[in-house]
Amino acid sequence: MGAMSEAIFAMLFSLTFGFVKSWPMALCCLCIAPFMMIASTIAAKVENEEMMNVKAAEGSEEESDDEKKSRILCADVIQNYKTVASLGNAGILLSEFDNINQRRATNDIKKAKGFACSLGLSVGIQNGIFGLLYLATGELMAAWPDYKYTQSD
């Protein structure tokens, strides 16, 4: 709630200040503001989902089957490390552990691709908006130069 009210007051202040100093530029910013809000909402949603996934993974009491198998397998390997029987089965245990980790990595890669695409889209929109604002500033300054500030005395 605090961040939202801070953003609203910052936008109101900046628009007021903008209309006082340069009304054409303020109009450009006002037209582009909804796109910036949409991009910020996408970025916040993606970051919130990622934080929830991390918290769920850290604090979850329920383990997936692969996590249980991996934990049990590691415990068995550690318990039987010094015995002769485990030395003969090292290749089998390592290959089974590798298979479990490969399945988990595949799921993690799918999640990471979705996260990267969403975050890339929102950051791309924001940077594109900044580029449009820079372009608008140049065009407006060329169309309506402020002679009062640019002329030397």
85-114 pLDDT, tens digit each: 556 666 777 788 888 888 888 888 888 888
* Domain encompassing residue 78: 2-56+63-150
Residues 63/146, Cβ–Cβ less than 8 Å: no
58 pLDDT more than 80: no
The total of structural domains in the chain comes to 1
Q: What is the pLDDT of residue 73?
A: 77
Query: What does the block give as tokens for 128?
Result: 């594109």
Q: What is the pLDDT of residue 47?
A: 76
d(CA 70, CA 63): 10
Q: What percent of the chain has pLDDT over 90?
A: 0
Is the pTM higher than 0.75? The answer reads no
Among 94, 10, 82, CA closest to 18: 10
The CA-atom distances, in angstroms, between 104 and each of 60, 64, 119, 153 are 16, 10, 23, 71
15 pLDDT more than 70: yes
d(CA 29, CA 6): 18
Q: What is the pLDDT of residue 77?
A: 67
